Amino acid sequence: MKRKINLRDPEFEPTDEEIKELMHSAFAQVRAKREARERAVADEISARVAKRWMEQRAKPGQT
């Protein structure tokens, strides 16, 4: 059974395996947040391009 990790406990000394798990979890969260921001930026750019394209198509007399 895994022991509870309490980083606020001054007596807590994590094992190498626990440190590895903590680092993996932290970097996974950072990666996920970065990917979410990148997707949001890409979605915003796509939306702006689509809006501009629709506006240009709606103008009479333009090809």
What's the confidence (pLDDT) of residue 63? Answer: 53
% pLDDT > 90, the chain: 60
Phi, psi of 34 (to 5 degrees): -65, -45
Structure tokens at 50: 């689509």
CA distance linking residue 47 with residue 51, whole number of Å:
6
Mean pLDDT of 30-48: 97
pTM greater than the 0.75 cutoff: no
| pLDDT tens figures, 14-24 | 889 989 988 99
What's the confidence (pLDDT) of residue 61? Answer: 67
- Name the more confident of 35 and 5: 35
Amino acid at residue number 17: E
CA distance linking residue 63 with residue 49, whole number of Å:
17
